[in-house]
Amino acid sequence: MTLSLQTDRLLIRDWEEDDAEAALEIYGSADVAQWLSPAIDQVTDVATMGMILTAWIEAQPNFVVPAGRWAVVRQEDNVVIGGLLIRLLPPYEEDLEIGWQLRPSAWGNGFATEASKALMGWAFKTGDVDELFAVARPNNKRAIGAARRLGMEWVGETDKYYDLNLQVYRLRAADFKP
């Protein structure tokens, strides 16, 4: 399923192979990579980022709605500033995680909250989804702050996801406020 959502400032769309350089500004940043879960190495070059994007693009049609990965584009200059995802949390049976990553130059502008809120609204409306979870490393104050701004409730700390100690936040569809 192709996705295109617009907010006042952002466009959420499928990743494209031409996005590799912009994606490297996100996933190639040590400031971003240190917080990713599952833990992955910092992407170091455009060619590697291109291979990762190709894998994401090829996998996208196989996801069950609302799962997937998308680019976040700033409308004013058509620049990819981030990525969003919805995926199953381990053990990959029912709990859906929403995740967001932004290039550091886009931090502090409310983009993560704006984009995630739009995606959450679509997921609750389109998919058979009763709740979404977000996980964050305990010291990732930005991710924790975004989860709270999204209206997500802290439900505890666990090491059952990705073999990492993570804070878990949840938002139920009935509590979602667009």
Mean pLDDT (whole number) for 12-25: 96
**Is the pLDDT assigned to residue 17 strictly greater than 90?**
yes
44, two tokens: 């170091």
Mean pLDDT (whole number) for 132-147: 94
d(CA 98, CA 119): 9
Global confidence as pTM: 0.93
Question: Which residues have CB under 8 Å from 51's CB, separation 6+?
Answer: none
| pLDDT digit string, tens, across residues 93-114 | 889 999 999 999 999 999 999 9
Mean pLDDT (whole number) for 54-83: 95
- As beta bridge partners, residue 96 has 88
Q: Quick one: pLDDT at residue 178?
A: 86
pLDDT: which is higher, 14 or 35: 14
Q: Quick one: pLDDT at residue 1?
A: 67
Mean pLDDT (whole number) for 46-61: 95
Q: Quick one: pLDDT at residue 33?
A: 81
